[in-house]
């Protein structure tokens, strides 16, 4: 599912948005803002003023996350795989995080990609 967000030039969030949107350490076209990974779509003018339109997907990769073939991994995929291996190694086979429930692999995979994003950002600094 595609989500959109308008960031207006006169909003409180605009200065923070500009910092992350044009941060030189970003390795691709998407960036972290307001708790999600967004990509820039376009600027526009409407009755409420100037804004930048951002988008994000729940289930589709961003352009820099796509590889040219099924056999290729992006740097983000590679880093996430390493992080995921480390996370899963901590799973003792009986419980995760001290509880009796099995690990939530979807959440662990998201955590691995958050770690990968931090690694990509650190690599650019």
Condensed to tens digits (0 to 9), the pLDDT of residues 55-107 reads 887 766 665 566 555 556 777 888 888 888 887 776 655 445 555 455 577 77
94 is a domain residue:
yes
Provide the domain limits for residue 10. 2-57
State how far the Cα of 115 lies from the Cα of 122, in Å rounded to an integer: 10
Verify that 45 and 90 share a domain, yes or no: no
115 is a domain residue:
yes
Using pLDDT thresholds of 50, 70 and 90, give the confidence band for residue 12. Answer: very high
Indicate yes or no: pTM above 0.85: no
62 is a domain residue:
no
34 is a domain residue:
yes
Long-range Cβ pairs for the range 89-92 (8 Å, 24+): none
Q: In what order do the strands lie in the sheet with 30-33?
A: 2-8, 49-57, 36-46, 30-33
Pairwise pLDDT comparison (26 vs 18), residue with the higher score: 18
Q: How many domains does the chain have?
A: 2
HSE value, Cβ hemisphere, 13 Å, CA-based, for 105: 4
State how far the Cα of 21 lies from the Cα of 15, in Å rounded to an integer: 10
């Amino acid at each position: 599912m595609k989500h959109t967000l308008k960031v207006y030039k006169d909003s409180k969030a605009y200065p923070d948005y500009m910092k992350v949107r044009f941060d030189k350490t970003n390795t691709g076209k998407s960036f972290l803002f307001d708790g999600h990974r967004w990509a820039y779509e376009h600027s526009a003018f409407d009755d409420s003023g100037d804004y930048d339109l951002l988008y994000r997907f729940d289930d589709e990769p961003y352009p820099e996350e796509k590889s040219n073939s099924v056999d290729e991994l992006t740097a983000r995929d590679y880093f996430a795989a390493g992080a995921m291996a480390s996370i899963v190694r901590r799973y003792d086979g009986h419980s995760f995080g001290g509880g009796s429930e099995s690990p939530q692999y979807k959440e662990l995979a998201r955590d691995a990609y958050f770690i990968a994003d931090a690694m990509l950002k650190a690599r650019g600094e």
